[in-house]
Structures are given as structure tokens and as C-alpha cells.
């Protein structure tokens, strides 16, 4: 056998080993030899048409009969948007009992922040800085959804968002990579469960990747992220979720640097599959395969189907590109049979691991009592309490129930059961929502006067005589403002982030009544509320708080619960500051708060004014920084110390600090650990979150706390395109937000 023949034989052997479906790296989804045996055994029986059928996902809903023939023929591998357990059982019955191989369907749904019991929107979940609580909520969602036959959720959404004009900032965990990663891990654990059983719902990490960097904050718009930005900021949360065992990922709509994600071999095949060893399922976003034609990336549906399978995408959501063209592409040799087999392995692996072959059906009767179970509602309330962020308090909060007899409740969000649920709450029934008005009336019968002032958040009005007159007679005014649910979420970007309609005018009018005013804002994004702050004594920010938002907010306002939420995104002074986020680079001329327009004399002529990176009219500081949030008590950090001054690259930094509750009420602080790499082969952010801890202290209590930071967490992709820790000097903060605290230094050798 000559040399060339030997090489060819070796290559064939390697290909055979690879083609037998054994993941070449440790399985990220946790497969087993038994699962793999079953995958191979089933795959060996399948025709090409049946294989391609598994790669086809169809949006259902409506009469099952519409799909019965395709199901029997094995042309559908997954459905989404069917939630009725009886109809889901019928879909499964046709597949299992009437198709040739009896392969059950994978039934998916956007269970984004709760199924029937709706939790705060994911941006609010992030504001809790409480992964354990978020995991609990995801578990509740799984118990409710799987009981109805939904075994796949298109969540968590981990798109880093630094532009609040982008409506989908509501659906993610905000601007920070570390917080986003911790939230994603928590949701994956919650959805999938500690072990595989009938309540396990496959997570789907989305949108892979970079979607939140849409130019101009306009949804679906192009992104231009460098590989270094992808690797240092946008990819790590996805990798963390994959390492947490996420079963599936979804490709994103955007083209990044000219390449739509659904056809992007680099991110899907090279990074996700090659570097991370992901052996779960990759699904397109809704028709994102077909949209590659609009992008101008592929000429027709056949071409974009080829591009998607070539990139490593397993399942086609609603383009019908795979079902229409893959067989022909394989027969023509344009697509290898092995590519189809690999995709089908990933799909069968998920179905087998979910136990769908053993238990394809649900007990319809048993599903109903699980929905909105008291324990679920209680978890939703606790989460809504922790997700609210107190941005201002001149002392008016917490209210004392003894001292306020007449309570004026006003504002378009005071009794908005649908809007309070926020975006992507398809299955949250507004009849179950408890609004602030309902909660207040229940708690203070006969003492609540309700005058909306505005019927909905976009309403314009010139005068507020009626509500102001009532305010004059009340002891306190509770104004509930914000955004209707439709104003954030997919395809709902905004160019103006002020409170819409005449909400600000309503607040100003209420202030003129001369009584204490407490404003609560329920929104899907950080709005620009600087002009509203003077018109209220306190402002509580509740990212659409969900089903139990009313009781949660009333508990916070009356002190039964103490605010502990922190901003997961930067709050801008004006939309013109976009993008403004805490973990920015220093630049060569960092802004340090100097001169603004107001300080410039008329006809000042040419001066060397400023010369730093800022805006003459608004400066470059935010209204509220990332990680900010007040309590009803106060906290002080002291004695921040490191166990050493120098660390090896494989060492661990041990930080100790004393946190004191210096106020008169018990409270919980989110202590945040930030670092800065002072000099790198490329410029590095001025701060990066590398840890946080929720610490509850009684009034007057002090506690010394220790946190650990593996030096490895300081690694980044540098000039040489390699991820590593670069020795040198670092600064470290432990503080209550991203703009506070004094640094301590250490060296990495
Ligand atoms: C939508 C969204 C995606 C969602 C999918 C299915 O267009 O982009 O997040 O999971 O379609 O509803």
C-alpha cells in the first residue's frame, strides 16, 4: 500500500469513526453510550426522506388534521405554538402510532419568563442578581409547560444589549457578560432540571450570536462585531450555557460582518461545534434561513438550505427549506449524506434524552391544577419583589399603613393586567394578573381612590384637573407609569426613550397637588426618566413584573419587603448618549466630569474646552450606572483586602471585606466584584464584573465576607488571538454598583 493510499485509508477510518456519531469531545449535553446506541440504531433504519423530515419544524396551532398526513409520512420533526395538551397528545399519537418509525415530536414554545404563571421579564430577572431564584422560576415554568406537553423552550435569550432603543433588551439579561452568563446557566438548570424526567424542558440558548448589537438599536439590523468582541463579550454567556448542559441553540436573524448567523460556519461549526464540542441541536430562528435570501447571502431557498446545513444547522424553523430541497441536494452531491446524519443524530439525541419515546403523552387532567399553583404564584411574587430597583427615595418610602388613610392610585399602569406581564408572555392569562390597584384595594379596603389620569401609556392629555383635585385630598399619591407590553420585545425598537404620551405631564401635575408622590415605572427597558425624578419623592423601577407584580410592588411600597434589585443595564440621561455602558474602554481621553454646555459663556470663542470623550450638553455619565439600586437601609463597605499582592496565572484571588448595614432597617445588598486589567495587548474595559453576592444584614449588623476570583477569569482574547491571562497589574473593587468604591491592586506574574 503506497503512502497516498495509506493516508486515504486513515482519512476514511477517521471519517467512519466520526460518522458513527460518537461525539469527538466530551458530550456537552451529557449523552451516554446507551443513548448513542439508540441514536445509531434508529438512524440506520431511516430513509433519507425520514431523516430530512426530522429536520423540519412547523408552527402548529389550529386543527391537528391540517398536519396529519405530513406527520404520518414523517415529514415533521418538531412543532411549535401548540399548547393545548389534548391536541399535543393527538399530534404525538399520529407520530408514534401511525408513522413508520414512531418517532415522537419535539414540541417547542417560547416559555420566556414563565408559562401560565408569568415572572418578571428576563431583564427584571437579571435585576435580582439572584441566580438561585431565577433557576427556581425556570423550574416553575417547566413544571407548568411540560405538564401540557411542551418539552422545549426557546429560552434563555442571552443577547448582550447595550442599546435600550432595541426592544429585545427586555428579553435578555442586559449589558454585562458575567451577569448574562450566570442568568443563562440558572435558566438552563431550571428548565432542564437536575435530572432528566417528565418535567424536563430542553433549553434553547438564543440568539446565536451578536443579535443585540443591531446597528441603531433597530431590530434585525446588521451587526459589525469583530471576532475579538464576539469572543470577549458576546460568546462567553453562550459558552457558559453550553457548559451548563443546554440541549439546543437558536441562530440569530442578524448578519454579522456580512454573514447571517444561520449560514455562519465560523460561529456554528468552528466555535460552537468545534471548539466547544456542542452535541445538542441547533435550530434556525423563524424563517431565518429563508431571510438569507433577503440578506442577499443566498440566491434562492435551495441555496440558503445548502448554506445552513453547511454551517451546521440541524433544524429549519418555518422556511421549509430543508424539507423542500435537502433530498435533492444530497442526490446531486451538493450536500453530503453525513451532514444530514449528523443533524439527525443531534435531533434524536435530544428526543431520546428527554424520554419522549417512553413518555410521548401527557395526562391532560393532571395538567390543569399545576397551572398558577399557589407555590408558583408565591415564587413569582418573591421574584417580582427582588427584581424591582429603587432609584430614588427622599424618605417617603416605605409608607406606613397607619399614617396614610386615603391613597390615590393613578397612572396608566396601575390596573393594566395584560401590559404588566410584559413581552413574550403568550400563555400568561391576564385574568390571573394581580395589578397594583387590585392589591391595594384588597389590602386597604375603602381607603383607595383610583383615578387613572391616562387610559394607556401613549395617551396625550392637556389637563389633569380631576386627578389633581383628588390628589389634594389624599394622604399619598401612588402613580404607576411605564410602557405597554407591546412597546418592547421583538420588532419593537424605539427612537425616543422618554415616558410616552403625557405621563411626565401627569406626574408633574400630581406633584403640584403638594402631597407625597411615589412613582412606579413598569417597562421593558431602561427609559430616560431624568425629567421625571424631580416630580416624585421616590421612584421604583419594575421591569414588567408579571402575574404577581401588584402584591410585590405593594409589599415594597409599604415596607413588607425591602428593595434589593440592581440595574442590569445603564440608565441613560438621554437617548442621544447611546451606546453608554459601564464596561467601556478607557479611550485616550477619558471623561472625568468636566465642563458642560451650561458652563460655557456666550461668545466663548474657540477654547480648549474639555477635549475628552463626552457630550457638551449631557456629558458622558449615565443617570444611573450598571449595578445601581437603593434600599430602605444603607450599606457601607470597609476593609477590602486581598490575601496576597501577587498571584500566578493559575492562582486564586481571595478578597475579604466588611459589609455593614448602617441604617435602621434590615436589608439585602448585592455586593459586586469588579476588576480592571490596567495594561493589555489590547485595550481593556475600565471595569468588568467578575462576581456578585447577595448579602442580607439586620439593621446595624456587620459581616466580614470572603469572595474568590480564579485568576483564570481574567483571561481574554488578546492581540495574538489567543485566550489567556496576561501578567501585569490589576485593580479590584467590591462595591454596591459599577461606579462606586475604591480599588485595591494586585499583580499577576
Ligand atoms: C421569533 C423570535 C425567537 C422565537 C421564535 C419562535 O421570531 O426571534 O426568539 O423563539 O421566533 O417564536
| pLDDT tens digit sequence for 139-192 | 999 999 999 999 999 999 999 999 999 999 999 999 999 999 999 999 999 999
Strands 407-410 and 476-482 turn out to be parallel
Secondary structure (H, E, C), 78-125: EEECCCCHHHHHHHHHHHHHHCCCCCCCEEEECCCCCCCCCCCCHHHH
Sign of CA dihedral 34, 38, 39, 41: positive
Work out the pLDDT band at 61, boundaries 50, 70, 90: confident
Going by alpha carbons, the residue nearest to atom 11 of ligand 1 is: 286
Q: Which atom of ligand 1 is nearest to the CA of 253?
A: 8
Give Cα 618 to chain centroid, integer Å: 29
Checking if the pLDDT of 18 tops 60, the result is: no
In the predicted model, what is the mean pLDDT of residues 577-599? 91
Checking if the pLDDT of 608 tops 80, the result is: no
CA distance 89 to 361: 5
Checking if the pLDDT of 11 tops 90, the result is: no
Q: Which atom of ligand 1 is nearest to the CA of 110?
A: 10
- Quick check: 375 and 113 in contact, CB under 8 A? no
User: Can you spell out the DSSP letters for 276-345?
Assistant: T---SEEE--TTTTTHHHHTTS-SSHHHHHHHHHHHT--BEESS-HHHHHHHHHHHTTSS-HHHHHHHHH
Checking if the pLDDT of 607 tops 70, the result is: no
Work out the pLDDT band at 7, boundaries 50, 70, 90: low
285 is catalytic: yes
In the predicted model, what is the mean pLDDT of residues 41-67? 95
pLDDT the model gives residue 24: 62
pLDDT the model gives residue 670: 98
Residues 6+ apart with CB under 8 A from 378: 548
Task: Tell how far the Cα of 88 is from the centroid of ligand 1, in angstroms.
Answer: 20
- Quick check: 464 and 453 in contact, CB under 8 A? yes
Q: Which of 153, 285, 425 to mutate to test the pocket of ligand 1 (most atoms within 8 A of CB)?
A: 285
For residue 723, list its beta bridge partners.
717
pLDDT digits (tens, 9 = 90+) for 532-552: 999 999 999 999 999 999 999
User: What share of the chain has pLDDT > 70, as a percent?
Assistant: 96
In the predicted model, what is the mean pLDDT of residues 192-208? 96
Q: What does the mean pLDDT of the chain come to? A: 96
pLDDT the model gives residue 593: 86
pLDDT the model gives residue 496: 98
Q: Which residue has the higher pLDDT, 534 or 62?
A: 534
| Residue 615 φ then ψ, to 5° | -110, 130
| Residue 696 φ then ψ, to 5° | -100, 130
Checking if the pLDDT of 451 tops 60, the result is: yes
Work out the pLDDT band at 379, boundaries 50, 70, 90: very high
Mean pLDDT is lowest, of 14-18, 678-682, 718-722, for 14-18
Cis preceding linkage at 398, omega within 30: yes
Q: Which residue has the higher pLDDT, 732 or 608?
A: 732
- 269: DSSP letter: I
Residue 635's H or E segment, with its range, is strand 635-642
Closest CA to 501 of 391, 412, 408: 412
Work out the pLDDT band at 614, boundaries 50, 70, 90: very high
Mean pLDDT is lowest, of 8-12, 247-251, 579-583, for 8-12
Residues 6+ apart with CB under 8 A from 716: 232, 677, 680, 682, 684, 723, 724, 726
pLDDT the model gives residue 3: 52
| Residue 10 φ then ψ, to 5° | -65, -45
The finding on whether 291 has its CB within 6 A of some atom of ligand 1 is no
pLDDT digits (tens, 9 = 90+) for 543-587: 999 999 999 999 999 999 999 999 999 999 999 999 999 999 999
CA distance 372 to 624: 35
Secondary structure (H, E, C), 658-726: EEEECCCCCEEEEEEEEEEECCCCCCCECCEEEEEEEEEECCCCEEEEEEEEEHHHHCEECCCCCEECC
User: Can you spell out the DSSP letters for 49-79?
Assistant: HHHHHHTEEEE--S-GGGGHHHHHTT--SEE
Residues 6+ apart with CB under 8 A from 240: 181, 182, 184, 185
pLDDT digits (tens, 9 = 90+) for 393-428: 999 999 999 999 999 999 999 999 999 999 999 999
Q: Structure pTM?
A: 0.96
Checking if the pLDDT of 16 tops 60, the result is: no
How many other C-beta atoms can be found within 10 angstroms of the C-beta atom of residue 123? Answer: 31
How many other C-beta atoms can be found within 10 angstroms of the C-beta atom of residue 420? Answer: 33
Work out the pLDDT band at 267, boundaries 50, 70, 90: very high
C-alpha cell at position 202 = 430542553
| Active-site option among 180, 285, 415, 427 | 285
pLDDT the model gives residue 609: 61
Q: Which of 423, 490, 492, 493 to mutate to test the pocket of ligand 1 (most atoms within 8 A of CB)?
A: 490
Strands 407-410 and 56-59 turn out to be unpaired
User: What share of the chain has pLDDT > 90, as a percent?
Assistant: 93
| Residue 283 φ then ψ, to 5° | -115, 150
pLDDT the model gives residue 599: 78
Checking if the pLDDT of 19 tops 60, the result is: no
Work out the pLDDT band at 17, boundaries 50, 70, 90: very low
At 389 the three-state DSSP class reads strand
Task: Tell how far the Cα of 427 is from the centroid of ligand 1, in angstroms.
Answer: 15
CA distance 494 to 49: 45
pLDDT digits (tens, 9 = 90+) for 76-134: 999 999 999 999 999 999 999 999 999 999 999 999 999 999 999 999 999 999 999 99
Mean pLDDT is lowest, of 14-23, 413-422, 586-595, for 14-23
Q: Which atom of ligand 1 is nearest to the CA of 286?
A: 11
- Quick check: 535 and 511 in contact, CB under 8 A? yes
Task: Tell how far the Cα of 283 is from the centroid of ligand 1, in angstroms.
Answer: 11
pLDDT the model gives residue 132: 98
In the predicted model, what is the mean pLDDT of residues 372-399? 98
What number of residues does the chain have? 749
For residue 653, CA distances in Å to 74, 343, 686, 730 come to: 55, 43, 19, 11
Checking if the pLDDT of 50 tops 50, the result is: yes
CA distance 43 to 172: 37
Helix then strand then coil, in percent of the chain rounded to 5, is 35, 20, 45
Mean pLDDT is lowest, of 16-25, 91-100, 296-305, 383-392, for 16-25
The finding on whether 231 has its CB within 6 A of some atom of ligand 1 is no
Closest CA to 556 of 504, 472, 629, 447: 629
Residues 6+ apart with CB under 8 A from 34: none
Work out the pLDDT band at 605, boundaries 50, 70, 90: confident
Amino acid at each position: 500500500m503506497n503512502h497516498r493510499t495509506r493516508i486515504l485509508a486513515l482519512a476514511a477510518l477517521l471519517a467512519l469513526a466520526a460518522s458513527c456519531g460518537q461525539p469527538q469531545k466530551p458530550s456537552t449535553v451529557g449523552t451516554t453510550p446507551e443513548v448513542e446506541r439508540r441514536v445509531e440504531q434508529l438512524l440506520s433504519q431511516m430513509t433519507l426522506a425520514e431523516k430530512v423530515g426530522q429536520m423540519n419544524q412547523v408552527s402548529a396551532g389550529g386543527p391537528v388534521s391540517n398536519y396529519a398526513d405530513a406527520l404520518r409520512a414523517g415529514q415533521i420533526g418538531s412543532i411549535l405554538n401548540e399548547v393545548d395538551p389534548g391536541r399535543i397528545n393527538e399530534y404525538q399519537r399520529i407520530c408514534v402510532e401511525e408513522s413508520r418509525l414512531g418517532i415522537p415530536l419535539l414540541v417547542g414554545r417560547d416559555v420566556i419568563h414563565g408559562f401560565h404563571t408569568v415572572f418578571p421579564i428576563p431583564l427584571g430577572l437579571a435585576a435580582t442578581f439572584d441566580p438561585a431564584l431565577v433557576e427556581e422560576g425556570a423550574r416553575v415554568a417547566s413544571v407548568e409547560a411540560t405538564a401540557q406537553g411542551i418539552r422545549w423552550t426557546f429560552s434563555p435569550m442571552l443577547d448582550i444589549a447595550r442599546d435600550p432603543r432595541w426592544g429585545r433588551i427586555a428579553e435578555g439579561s442586559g449589558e454585562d457578560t458575567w451577569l448574562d452568563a450566570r442568568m443563562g446557566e440558572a435558566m438552563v438548570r431550571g428548565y432542564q432540571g437536575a435530572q432528566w424526567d417528565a418535567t424536563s424542558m430542553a433549553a434553547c440558548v438564543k440568539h446565536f450570536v451578536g443579535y443585540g448589537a443591531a446597528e441603531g438599536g433597530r431590530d434585525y439590523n446588521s451587526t459589525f462585531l469583530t471576532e475579538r468582541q464576539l469572543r470577549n463579550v458576546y460568546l462567553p454567556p453562550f459558552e457558559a450555557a453550553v457548559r451548563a448542559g443546554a440541549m439546543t441553540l437558536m441562530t440569530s436573524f442578524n448578519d454579522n460582518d456580512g454573514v447571517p448567523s444561520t449560514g455562519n460556519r465560523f460561529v456554528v461549526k468552528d466555535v460552537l461545534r468545534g471548539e466547544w464540542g456542542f452535541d445538542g441541536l441547533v435550530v434556525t430562528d423563524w424563517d431565518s434561513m429563508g431571510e438569507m435570501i433577503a440578506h442577499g447571502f443566498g440566491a434562492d431557498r435551495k441555496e440558503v438550505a445548502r448554506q445552513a446545513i453547511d454551517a451546521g444547522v440541524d433544524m429549519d424553523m418555518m422556511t421549509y427549506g430543508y424539507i423542500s430541497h435537502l433530498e435533492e441536494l444530497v442526490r446531486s452531491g451538493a450536500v453530503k449524506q453525513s451532514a444530514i446524519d449528523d443533524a439527525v443524530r443531534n435531533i434524536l439525541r435530544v428526543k431520546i434524552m428527554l424520554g419522549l419515546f417512553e413518555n410521548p403523552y401527557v395526562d391532560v387532567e393532571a395538567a390543569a391544577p399545576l397551572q398558577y399553583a399557589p407555590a408558583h404564584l408565591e415564587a413569582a411574587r418573591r421574584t417580582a419583589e427582588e427584581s424591582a430597583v429603587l432609584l430614588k427615595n427622599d424618605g417617603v418610602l416605605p409608607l406606613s399603613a397607619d399614617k396614610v388613610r386615603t391613597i390615590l392610585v393613578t397612572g396608566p399602569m396601575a390596573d393594566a393586567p395584560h401590559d404588566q406581564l410584559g413581552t413574550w408572555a403568550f400563555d400568561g392569562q391576564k385574568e390571573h394578573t394581580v395589578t397594583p390597584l387590585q392589591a391595594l384595594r384588597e389590602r386597604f379596603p375603602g381607603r383607595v381612590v383610583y383615578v387613572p389620569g391616562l387610559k394607556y401609556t401613549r395617551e396625550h392629555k392637556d389637563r389633569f384637573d380631576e386627578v389633581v383635585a383628588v390628589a389634594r385630598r389624599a394622604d399619598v399619591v401612588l402613580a404607576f407609569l411605564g410602557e405597554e407590553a407591546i412597546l418592547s420585545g421583538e420588532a419593537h425598537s424605539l427612537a425616543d426613550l422618554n415616558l410616552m404620551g403625557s405621563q411626565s405631564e401627569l406626574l408633574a401635575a400630581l406633584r403640584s397637588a403638594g402631597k407625597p408622590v411615589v412613582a412606579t415605572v413598569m417597562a421593558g427597558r431602561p427609559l430616560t426618566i431624568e425629567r421625571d425624578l424631580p416630580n416624585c419623592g421616590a421612584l421604583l423601577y419594575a421591569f414588567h413584573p408579571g402575574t404577581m407584580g401588584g402584591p410585590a410592588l405593594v409589599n415594597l411600597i409599604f415596607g413588607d419587603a425591602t428593595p434589593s434589585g440592581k440595574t442590569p443595564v445603564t440608565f441613560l440621561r438621554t437617548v442621544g448618549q447611546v451606546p453608554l455602558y459601564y464596561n467601556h474602554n478607557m479611550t485616550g481621553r477619558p471623561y472625568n466630569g468636566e465642563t458642560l454646555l451650561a458652563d460655557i459663556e456666550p461668545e466663548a470663542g474657540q477654547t480648549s474646552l474639555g477635549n475628552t470623550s463626552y457630550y457638551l450638553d449631557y456629558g458622558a455619565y449615565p443617570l444611573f450606572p450598571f449595578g445601581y439600586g437603593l434600599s430602605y437601609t444603607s450599606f457601607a463597605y470597609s476593609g477590602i483586602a486581598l490575601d496576597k499582592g501577587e498571584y500566578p496565572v493559575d492562582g486564586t484571588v481571595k478578597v475579604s471585606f466588611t459589609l455593614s448595614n448602617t441604617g435602621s432597617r434590615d436589608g439585602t445588598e448585592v455586593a459586586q466584584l469588579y476588576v480592571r486589567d490596567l495594561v493589555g495587548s489590547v485595550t481593556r474595559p475600565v471595569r468588568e464584573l467578575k462576581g456578585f453576592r447577595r448579602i442580607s444584614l439586620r439593621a446595624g449588623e456587620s459581616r466580614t465576607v470572603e469572595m474568590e476570583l480564579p485568576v483564570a477569569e481574567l483571561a481574554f482574547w488578546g492581540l495574538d488571538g489567543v485566550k489567556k491571562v496576561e501578567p501585569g497589574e490589576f485593580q479590584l473593587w467590591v462595591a454596591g454598583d459599577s461606579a462606586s468604591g475604591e480599588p485595591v491592586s494586585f499583580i499577576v506574574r
